[in-house]
Amino acid sequence: MDLSQLIAVARGGEPADLVLRNARLVDVLSPDIRTTDIAVAGTAVAGVGRGYRGRETVDLKGRYVCPGFIDAHVHLESGLVRPREFARAAVPRGVTTVVADPHEIANVAGAAGIRFLLRDTARAPLQVFVNVPSCVPATRLATSGAAVSAADFGPLFSDPRVLGLGEVMDFRGVVSGAPRVLAAIAAARGRPVDGHCPGLGGLELNAYVAAGIGSDHECASVGEAREKLRLGMTIFVREGSAARNLSALLPLATPHTERRLCFCTDDRQPADLLEEGSIDFLVRRAVAGGVPPLTAIRMATLNPAEHFRLADRGAVAPGRRADLVVFGDLGDVRPELVYSGGVLAARDGAPAGPAWEEEIAEADPEVRDTVRVDWARMDLRIPATGSRMRVIGIVPDQINTGSLVVAPLVLDGIAVADPDRDLLKIAVIERHGASGRTALGFVKGMGLKEGAIAGTVAHDHHNLIVVGADDASMETAARAAAAGGGGLAAARGETVLAVLPLPIAGLMSGEPIERVREGVRSLAVAARALGSRLRDPFMTMSFLGLEVVPALKLTDLGLVDVEAQAIVPLFAEK
Amino acid sequence: MDLSQLIAVARGGEPADLVLRNARLVDVLSPDIRTTDIAVAGTAVAGVGRGYRGRETVDLKGRYVCPGFIDAHVHLESGLVRPREFARAAVPRGVTTVVADPHEIANVAGAAGIRFLLRDTARAPLQVFVNVPSCVPATRLATSGAAVSAADFGPLFSDPRVLGLGEVMDFRGVVSGAPRVLAAIAAARGRPVDGHCPGLGGLELNAYVAAGIGSDHECASVGEAREKLRLGMTIFVREGSAARNLSALLPLATPHTERRLCFCTDDRQPADLLEEGSIDFLVRRAVAGGVPPLTAIRMATLNPAEHFRLADRGAVAPGRRADLVVFGDLGDVRPELVYSGGVLAARDGAPAGPAWEEEIAEADPEVRDTVRVDWARMDLRIPATGSRMRVIGIVPDQINTGSLVVAPLVLDGIAVADPDRDLLKIAVIERHGASGRTALGFVKGMGLKEGAIAGTVAHDHHNLIVVGADDASMETAARAAAAGGGGLAAARGETVLAVLPLPIAGLMSGEPIERVREGVRSLAVAARALGSRLRDPFMTMSFLGLEVVPALKLTDLGLVDVEAQAIVPLFAEK
């Protein structure tokens, strides 16, 4: 629709495509709630007020209408489904826009992975914007499948759906002025740059902000968030599957201080997406926690739109996108109708409308068959060359770990797992270039009494990671996970107990999310049968290779002392 | 200063250039007021907090510091001084950034006039951004010196100091979908577009906003402003020399609704700038009127920065420009020190620091000698061809006029001024192309008993405008105003009583603002001696030619019925 036609509808000269009558409009702008009509022309709101005629009219009979929700920061890959399928889960929750940081797929497939994500959602009712991942690979202490450097930014930034730079996780590098990360920030000059700096404060935080980083989604307390707000950061209040900060930050969500607060999910797994929801869940939780509904809805709409300079959305107003969420109860926001760009996209929590009927093309070749392992060179045995070894200590429900020093159990000169002490073997097998490189170590806290679990999801390098009680089970699990382009698997001996194929980049399924949720459940049942009492052993395992989060991690290059940012030997001195 | 050096200062690794100690910081971000230190490195704030060393240290002993003020919309030309000199008046008032709409100089000199304004302020302590005037010429019913069309936008938009499109005054054209104005808006796509739609409401306002227009500074009532806020406009609360809306709009300036409100001056004359001030005056007036100081200061800083996406200012925070205003009393904000880009630029209300010592180059040739009149062809006589004539009716202190129908005073077949009825002759003489074109009419309400006043300031076309009681005085005043490249003048018979030369585009003086203020005073004294009781007859006269503001105006092409947007004859049908 051209501008003159939109104007003609807006002034009442031509009928609207759709008029929503008797809407109780949640006006995040003035702000205010009032009963009025909303006229839609093409993809945009033409007018708000009485007196519009429409080709189609829906009488909302006093139901509320608010702008479509915006997820300020999400890794779509955590949904374990392809981006188009993520949309099918998010849109019925009222989410019509996300700012995605595709650093998982970028670590596997580089810029080609980012382009796949953009193409896969090009015509989806979920508007997917991208912040280019800033740290791919995260460090030199792991082998990724691809790198994304400042040289890649130019072509990516020419896409109007690419906004700026994704979370700058290397906050130590920023504070110390490391050239590589400063070059990335400089290349994004004038664009939004997302941050990631858990616990940073004082002069170091000043340095991080001075570099031009505008947001943080890692705040765990009001004090931390307030310090960051004061220095100019926008705070994304996160409630993901792994990390949940909403309750802790609610005291900041007042009409007085809400302006620079947004909601984000960061990581949401299939079951959480389907059962709790997405940003709608955060809105409900906030309101249930005492946040005024208008404040909570602003944090889900206008605030992220303003932060990311998405002037065409975030409010229900003339000329803005007709992304509209209809619901019945301000105290318990549950989307009944969701319009995306003026078109009905969901009804009563389920996808609806023509957009979902489109045939989905097969995923791009660049993101298929990405698992390349040289099985012949894999050797899981650990010769015992010392009497004390460094062991990764799991902290339940956290992604940081302890660094323990433990005596090995040695059989015939080989250090082996000792399930009685909850001491399991961990292997990270390089899976991008079939180098045959395998790093080995031990982990405490996984709780398997027998068998093994494995996966090609291992942040951020996404090599093949395996934890197990014996080498045979580990090899079975690893092969099952790797088969068919990647996935997650549990095994006992030579028996595969459960497997969830993730053939897209080894990170995502091509199946419907409901089926993926069942696959995840089967894996959890298997892991439990093997003895783990963790809430989600696969997610816990997926962070055991993340060499930027303290304290001890394992990559394909070996054990990483995160504070020292150095590879350390398994067997400690002394 | 490069980024790594700024970061080094921010983390405390290197000394700052300047540390302001014991500042009571007006933190518009969190928001909050607290005592802290501010470290400056180069042009930017490096850090906010305790623990910084500086090459220079100033102990503020608890004085307040807030961000530099931003004037969201101003026509610099109204200061009657060149832009660099306007800066000398504005910066001591705490104004460090303005968004200028140079539509006066553009009507005289086109894009070259805009470039002069940018060049003249390129190194000034006042950061001047430009919104390209959208309506030059305003209509086809007057002759301007130049046109600015969508084709000019490209080169202008490539200047980082050019933000978007200036006030779209042709709101009727927008609402009706007129191609010329829609083309201008389309050419500015993705950039801020300022509005101007006094009194517009209902579906027409929806149409205006749907076109993509994001602000309005013409609201005269809370009701009007609230309707515009609801539809997504940012409201610039204006307190100019001519139009003053601050008191009327103060009820909207609450912490709850302030977010989308900014301050602007629109038009400020020399005396008002020097005596009342600029944005500082609006802050004081707002606070005196009961607005919380933090709210008022946000409207003067963070809000316009966010509206115009000037992410590098609007708050005192790491990485943002060190535009800082130091003052002693939150209830009566009077800037004591003003830093612009980290450098002291004013002290105790007067310019200070090295920036003002720079030699000022002569104004560009394109904006000098712009007054070209063919005096030989000027004829001020009005043959009386009817018994009823249309007369412009002045409304004191307003720029709109009435349209009266009055019997002429006829002597020897010639309609002449009749000061006894306060009926004066008005002439608009084309002065850009020496066409000799002169339009004549009558005006009621100016109050001159004798003599004449004239000027080359006549919105928006800025032809030579003259109002007088007799033709000889009118010609004397006109010639005096036109001499030397333009100006304002008052005359009686063949005697020039007062003259203020405005040789830059016929709009601005090259002299210091204090001297220009004296010149304006002399003109006012002269006009008063001639009998006018208006507060500012020259300003009133300057709007008598503005054919876009109701009801009856005179341009060089004749009398304009503004509602009908048509030239009408002086002598009315009966």
Ordered strands of the B69-74 beta sheet: B69-74, B95-100, B127-132, B162-168, B193-195, B215-216, B234-238, B261-264
Token digits of residue A520: 């995840």
Closest chain B residue by Cα to residue A319: B210
The whole-number pLDDT of residue B573 equals 67
User: B interface mutation test: which of A19, A35, A168, A230 has the most B CBs within 10 A?
Assistant: A230
From the list B46, B179, B212, the residue facing A210 with the nearest CB is B46
Q: Does B260 touch chain A (CB under 8 A)?
A: yes
Q: Please choose, from the candidates B169, B71, B163, the residue with its C-alpha nearest in 3D space to the C-alpha of residue B114.
A: B163
3-class DSSP assignment, residue B490: strand
Q: Do A49 and B256 touch (CB under 8 A)?
A: no
Q: How far is B171 from chain A (nearest CA, A)?
A: 12
The whole-number pLDDT of residue B398 equals 82
Q: How far is A115 from chain B (nearest CA, A)?
A: 23
Q: Does B174 touch chain A (CB under 8 A)?
A: yes
Q: Encode burial over B403-427: b for 16+ CB neighbours within 10 A, e otherwise.
A: bbebebbeeeeebbbbbeebbbbbb
Restricting to A residues 24-63, those with a Cβ less than 8 Å away from any Cβ of B are 27, 29-32, 44-49, 51-52
Are A48 and A36 a contacting pair, CB within 8 Å? yes
State pTM to two decimals. Answer: 0.95
If one counts every other C-beta atom within 10 angstroms of the C-beta of residue B288, the result is: 12
Q: B425-466, pLDDT tens digit by residue?
A: 999 999 999 999 999 999 999 999 999 999 999 999 999 999
> Which ranges of B166-230 does DSSP label H, i.e. alpha helix?
171-176, 179-187, 202-210, 222-230
Q: Does A322 touch chain B (CB under 8 A)?
A: no
Query: What 8-state DSSP symbol labels residue A548?
Result: T
Q: Do A206 and B4 touch (CB under 8 A)?
A: no
Q: Please choose, from the candidates A24, A31, A42, the residue with its C-alpha nearest in 3D space to the C-alpha of residue A318.
A: A42
> Which ranges of A121-201 does DSSP label H, i.e. alpha helix?
150-157, 171-176, 179-187
User: In angstroms, rounded to a whole number, what is the distance separating the alpha carbons of residues A359 and A370?
Assistant: 24
Residue type, B80: L
From the list B175, B203, B315, the residue facing A49 with the nearest CB is B203
Q: Do A3 and B186 touch (CB under 8 A)?
A: yes
CA atoms in the 13 A half-sphere facing the CB of B184: 30
Are A95 and A68 a contacting pair, CB within 8 Å? yes
- Cα-based torsion angle of the residue sequence B8, B9, B14, B17 in order, rounded to the nearest 10 degrees: 150
Q: Do B230 and A185 touch (CB under 8 A)?
A: no
Q: Do A30 and B211 touch (CB under 8 A)?
A: no
Q: Do B27 and A230 touch (CB under 8 A)?
A: yes
- Cα-based torsion angle of the residue sequence A379, A385, A387, A392 in order, rounded to the nearest 10 degrees: -40
User: A interface mutation test: which of B5, B24, B26, B29 has the most A CBs within 10 A?
Assistant: B29
Q: How far is B158 from chain A (nearest CA, A)?
A: 14
Q: Cβ contacts (< 8 Å) between A311 and chain B: which residues?
A: 214
Are B22 and B61 a contacting pair, CB within 8 Å? yes
Q: How far is A458 from chain B (nearest CA, A)?
A: 32
Q: Does B411 touch chain A (CB under 8 A)?
A: no
Question: In sequence order, which residues have a C-beta less than 8 Å from that of residue A198 and are 6 or more positions away?
Answer: A218, A219, A220
Q: Do A318 and B231 touch (CB under 8 A)?
A: yes
Q: Do B209 and A10 touch (CB under 8 A)?
A: yes
Question: In sequence order, which residues have a C-beta less than 8 Å from that of residue B553 and are 6 or more positions away?
Answer: B392, B401, B544, B545, B546, B547, B559, B560, B562
The whole-number pLDDT of residue A573 equals 67
Token digits of residue A194: 């997302």
Q: How many residues does chain B have?
A: 574
Token digits of residue A227: 């310090």
Per the prediction, chain B carries an average pLDDT of: 96
Q: Encode burial over B260-281: b for 16+ CB neighbours within 10 A, e otherwise.
A: bbbbbbbbbbbbbbbebbbbbb
Q: Do A47 and B207 touch (CB under 8 A)?
A: yes
User: In angstroms, rounded to a whole number, what is the distance separating the alpha carbons of residues A243 and A238?
Assistant: 7
If one counts every other C-beta atom within 10 angstroms of the C-beta of residue B61, the result is: 10
Token digits of residue A54: 């429409």
CA-only gyration radius of chain A, Å: 24
The whole-number pLDDT of residue A243 equals 81
Q: Does A284 touch chain B (CB under 8 A)?
A: no
User: In angstroms, rounded to a whole number, what is the distance separating the alpha carbons of residues B389 and B572?
Assistant: 5
Q: Do A29 and B232 touch (CB under 8 A)?
A: yes
Residues of chain B with pLDDT under 50: none
DSSP character string of A437-491: -EEEEEEES---SSSEEEES--TTT--EEEEESSHHHHHHHHHHHHGGG-EEEEE
Q: Please choose, from the candidates B350, B322, B356, the residue with its C-alpha nearest in 3D space to the C-alpha of residue B337.
A: B350
Q: Do A256 and B255 touch (CB under 8 A)?
A: yes
Beta strands in B49-107 (DSSP E): 54-59, 64-67, 69-74, 95-100
Q: Cβ contacts (< 8 Å) between B179 and chain A: which residues?
A: 4
Q: Cβ contacts (< 8 Å) between A179 and chain B: which residues?
A: 4
Q: Do A185 and B3 touch (CB under 8 A)?
A: yes
Token digits of residue A72: 């300020």
From the list B174, B203, B320, the residue facing A47 with the nearest CB is B203
Q: How far is B443 from chain A (nearest CA, A)?
A: 36
Distances in Å between the Cα of B429 and the Cα atoms of A233, A280, B372, B487, B506 are: 56, 65, 10, 14, 14
Closest chain B residue by Cα to residue A309: B309
Q: Do A309 and B309 touch (CB under 8 A)?
A: yes
From the list A3, A31, A226, the residue facing B182 with the nearest CB is A3
DSSP H or E stretch at residue A514: helix A513-529
User: In angstroms, rounded to a whole number, what is the distance separating the alpha carbons of residues B376 and A255?
Assistant: 68
Q: Please choose, from the candidates A45, A19, A57, A50, the residue with its C-alpha nearest in 3D space to the C-alpha of residue A35.
A: A50
If one counts every other C-beta atom within 10 angstroms of the C-beta of residue B573, the result is: 8
Share of chain A above pLDDT 70, in %: 100
Q: Cβ contacts (< 8 Å) between B306 and chain A: which residues?
A: 306
Q: Do A177 and B4 touch (CB under 8 A)?
A: yes
Q: How far is A330 from chain B (nearest CA, A)?
A: 19
The whole-number pLDDT of residue A236 equals 98
Residues of chain A with pLDDT under 50: none
Beta strands in A294-341 (DSSP E): 324-327, 337-340
Q: B27-70, pLDDT tens digit by residue?
A: 999 999 999 999 999 999 999 999 999 999 999 999 999 999 99
